[in-house]
Structure 1
Amino acid sequence: MVKIKQFSVEAWMDEHEHNCKYNIAETCAASISIDQLRDISDDKQRQVFDTAKPLTYGTIRGSQNLRDNLSRLYSAKTATPLPADNILTTPGAIQANYLTAYALVGSGDHVICHYPTYQSLYEVPRQLGAEVDLWKAKPEDDWLPSIDELKKLIKPNTKLIIINNPNNPTGAVLKKSLLQAIIDVAAEHDIIIQSDEVYRPLFHSINPLDPEFPPSILSMGYTKTIATGSMSKAYAMAGIRVGWIASRDASIIETIAEARHYTTISVSFFDEQIAAYALDSSTVHSLLVRNVNLAKKNMELMDRFIIKNDDECEWVRPVAGTTAFLKFHREGKPVDSVDFCKKLLEKTGVLFVPGSMCFGEEFKGYVRVGFVNHTDMIKEGLDKVTQFVRKNLDEVALAE
């Protein structure tokens, strides 16, 4: 039997997200309805999905319309278009990441994973028998990991380098020059790079014209790359459970497709039709403008919150995505983040995620905040947190 370690962040959310008043732990951009999606589309006459279609399995590897739209998005500003056949759909990005590991790594393999990050990215390869080393980023380096450290982690059996860009929980991005340096290391040793890009393209604090603006890993010219993504985070549509795996290497896609037969068969074609509608050129730009503007507006609230509480709270300001990693302390000592989050929820109804429990014991005092929910709720929730910090922080235990 596979030894499964508790998936801490999902266990925390499962226990608390339906018992809070202010969910500032949610990592999706504020969810959009089908009616709202239709309203922002430039083509109001186009049908979202076909209600007369028979309820079959649909297209096994993913609907052609959806994969064509994804191909168009990945092919923008690149000399070589990404073929639609190089994309597989999955039930969310979590399945995309699981399938990638399931198909590509096992006992005897070595995996390097960017850290801190979503637990499944490094825990699933471990469950499959691979040796995993964490490529650690530090706040003093603006959560950017060191290429020299990456080089030291390389082994003769290194099979996969996993990155998360934009990053959960920090909101940092691996910029273009750093991506190129990662590729140079991988190419020298013939290593596959997997990039979890589930928060792409929600860039709220870096301009696309910036020369360091991070492209998708698939746009960097290295063939042995994989990008995973979904409709959940930047596209605000977690409820349809649509994700994908894309690669420049057709043989990698074929290997994963064989593994996919054992786990997925196909994705709901209703879900895929809604995703295809959202990613169509008549809709996707308006959808992203909505979500990026929401992130920018709410980031102003986060900035003000940090200023108000700068004696007790610090951060590295996030650049992209929907999350921020905040550190709370009292008299220079980090608080116990689990105790902080539990007392905060009990007294205010605000839900945060404790960093030391859900992202690593070394993240003492850290909490993850999801700030791209509805603005009124974020504002009210952050005001409650400020009141808690001023009135109740002394009641919170310090980290041991």
Structure 2
Amino acid sequence: MVKIQPFEVEQWMDRYELTPGVINIAETCAASLSIDDLVGMSVNQNEPGPLILSVKLTYGAIRGSQTLRQKVASLFDRASPVLIPVENVIITQGAIMANFLLFYTLIGPGDHVICVYPTYQQLYAVPKSLGAEVSLWKLKEEHGYIPDLQDLKRLAKPNTKMIVINNPNNPTGSTIPASVLKELIAFAEPRGIIVFSDEVYSPLYHSLPSDQEAPPSILALGYEKTVATGSMSKAFALAGIRLGWIASRDPSIIEAVSAARDYTTISVSQLDDQVAAYALSEPVLPSLLKRNEGLARTNLALLSAFVERYRSVCSWVKPTAGTTALIQFRKNGVPVDDPEFVVDVLDKTKVLFMPGSACFGLGKDLKGFVRIGYVCHTEVLGNGLHELGRYIEKHLL
């Protein structure tokens, strides 16, 4: 039997997010939308909505509809001189299934995997459970949580098969700039190492410095052994349709993943496929991204003002992208016990966020840190920060 660690962040969310009266600032999706909301965003109000109700509900297109795969392929075309063929895209049940299938297909005993850290636990726990040796490429607060290529070179081994990155990063909200991505490819390509980029928070590059452009997808950098995953959940505010994707420059990777998927979910729901294709369509997508980017900027300003107000007890590296922030809290100059802190805040205020050391740290890493998802509805974030501020004034100052 394969041994795998409990998925801590999902365990914590499952345990606490349905607490009666909860003010949830732990959620990492941009504030969720309804079908009616999506239809209202379309510039073609006379056109039909996303669901074609006359279609028979068979398994549908096994790899995803041609329409949806084409729209997903176009998401990767940013700054890319060579377009991704539609055949190189597979639609999956969320990015979490996409990530699992990639590891299940490509990684096993005798392989070495390097994964950025901190990040979503799945990205290093699953390859380890499959028998691979995993080295953590630690992101440093003093470097703005941007990966250091010198550290990568020290971690690499002759049997390194895959390097895993997460851009934008969860939980820090940092962005790996194009210059670092190019250096990464320059390192991996002559060694034949697969570069896998979890891009589930792309393209929410909403708060980059004025002199920095949004980085391209890893697929835009001219190296065949690159793979990217994404979903409709985070940047596109549609977690409820459970739809994601895998795309690669390497057709052999796509074929191997497709063959493995025959043993799992076979295909995605036709209804989910139709909704995703509608959301990514030209009449809807610009309005959808404008809404989510605007929400992110507005709410990040609120969170930034909060951190500044209570800077004597909390600190951070301000996020530049995505929907999450990593903040450290201290009492009398000492980092709080973050799991106890999270539970106590929830008990006293109904405000929920995630403990860093329990959900994203190994051992004593990330002590005192919490992850806040700030791209919820602005009213929810405002209420949560108000109540958290009252708690701080009573218990930390």
Same fold (TM over 0.5): yes
> How far does the alpha carbon of each residue in 1:150-207 deviate from its partner, in whole angstroms, 9 at most, with x for none?
0111111111000000000000011000101111111121100000000000111116
Structure 1: distance between partners of 2:303 and 2:116 = 26
Indicate the residue corresponding to 2:310 in structure 1: 309
Indicate the residue corresponding to 2:36 in structure 1: 35
Do 2:168 and 2:199's aligned partners in 1 also have CA atoms closer than 8 Å? Answer: yes
Structure 1 position 372 matched with structure 2 position 375: yes
Segment drifting more, 14-23 vs 192-201: 14-23
Structure 1 position 332 matched with structure 2 position 336: no
Structure 1: distance between partners of 2:147 and 2:105 = 27
108, 111, 130: which one pairs with 1:109?
111
Structure 2: distance between partners of 1:212 and 1:107 = 39
TM-score, length of structure 1 as denominator length: 0.96
Structure 2: distance between partners of 1:359 and 1:76 = 30
Structure 2: distance between partners of 1:227 and 1:83 = 14
Indicate the residue corresponding to 1:12 in structure 2: 12
Segment drifting more, 69-78 vs 11-20: 69-78
Do 2:29 and 2:375's aligned partners in 1 also have CA atoms closer than 8 Å? Answer: yes
Q: After the TM superposition, which residues 381-400 of structure 1 pair with which residues of structure 2 at under 5 Å, given as runs?
A: 381-393=384-396
Structure 1: distance between partners of 2:211 and 2:280 = 25
Indicate the residue corresponding to 1:3 in structure 2: 3
Give how far 1:47 is off. Answer: 2.9
96, 99, 121: which one pairs with 1:97?
99
> How far does the alpha carbon of each residue in 1:249-308 deviate from its partner, in whole angstroms, 9 at most, with x for none?
111111111111111200001001000000011111110000000000001101110111
Structure 2: distance between partners of 1:81 and 1:146 = 29
> How far does the alpha carbon of each residue in 1:98-131 deviate from its partner, in whole angstroms, 9 at most, with x for none?
0000000000100000110000000000111111
* Dislocated runs of 4+, deviation >3 Å: 209-212
Structure 2: distance between partners of 1:228 and 1:46 = 29
The letter of the residue matching 1:331 is N
87, 90, 95: which one pairs with 1:88?
90
71, 79, 83: which one pairs with 2:73?
71
Indicate the residue corresponding to 2:167 in structure 1: 165
Q: Matched residue of 1:198: which SS?
A: coil
Structure 1: distance between partners of 2:380 and 2:179 = 37
Give how far 1:213 is off. Answer: 2.8
Structure 1 position 241 matched with structure 2 position 242: yes
Indicate the residue corresponding to 1:138 in structure 2: 140
Structure 1 position 46 matched with structure 2 position 32: no
Structure 1: distance between partners of 2:253 and 2:108 = 15
Q: Matched residue of 2:76: which SS?
A: helix
Structure 1: distance between partners of 2:205 and 2:140 = 21
Q: Matched residue of 2:71: which SS?
A: helix
Give how far 1:46 is off. Answer: 2.7
Structure 1: distance between partners of 2:153 and 2:117 = 15
Structure 2: distance between partners of 1:24 and 1:156 = 43
Structure 2: distance between partners of 1:347 and 1:287 = 36
Gaps of 5+ in 2: none
Indicate the residue corresponding to 2:351 in structure 1: 350
TM-score, length of structure 2 as denominator length: 0.97
Indicate the residue corresponding to 1:261 in structure 2: 262
Structure 1: distance between partners of 2:40 and 2:212 = 35
Do 2:50 and 2:275's aligned partners in 1 also have CA atoms closer than 8 Å? Answer: yes
Structure 1: distance between partners of 2:213 and 2:376 = 28
Gaps of 5+ in 1: 395-400
> How far does the alpha carbon of each residue in 1:355-394 deviate from its partner, in whole angstroms, 9 at most, with x for none?
0100113110000000000001100110111110110237
Give how far 1:211 is off. Answer: 4.9
Do 1:247 and 1:253's aligned partners in 2 also have CA atoms closer than 8 Å? Answer: yes
179, 184, 204: which one pairs with 1:182?
184
Do 2:328 and 2:369's aligned partners in 1 also have CA atoms closer than 8 Å? Answer: yes
> How far does the alpha carbon of each residue in 1:303-326 deviate from its partner, in whole angstroms, 9 at most, with x for none?
110111100000000000000000
Give how far 1:78 is off. Answer: 2.1
CA RMSD between the two structures: 1.1
Structure 2: distance between partners of 1:79 and 1:188 = 21
> How far does the alpha carbon of each residue in 1:217-275 deviate from its partner, in whole angstroms, 9 at most, with x for none?
01111111000000000000000000000011111111111111111200001001000
The letter of the residue matching 1:314 is S
Size of the aligned set, in residue pairs, is 393
Indicate the residue corresponding to 2:221 in structure 1: 220
Structure 2: distance between partners of 1:230 and 1:302 = 25
Q: Matched residue of 1:28: which SS?
A: coil
Structure 2: distance between partners of 1:335 and 1:388 = 14
Structure 1: distance between partners of 2:344 and 2:58 = 49
Structure 2: distance between partners of 1:9 and 1:76 = 31
Do 2:79 and 2:216's aligned partners in 1 also have CA atoms closer than 8 Å? Answer: no
Give how far 1:137 is off. Answer: 0.4
Indicate the residue corresponding to 1:289 in structure 2: 290
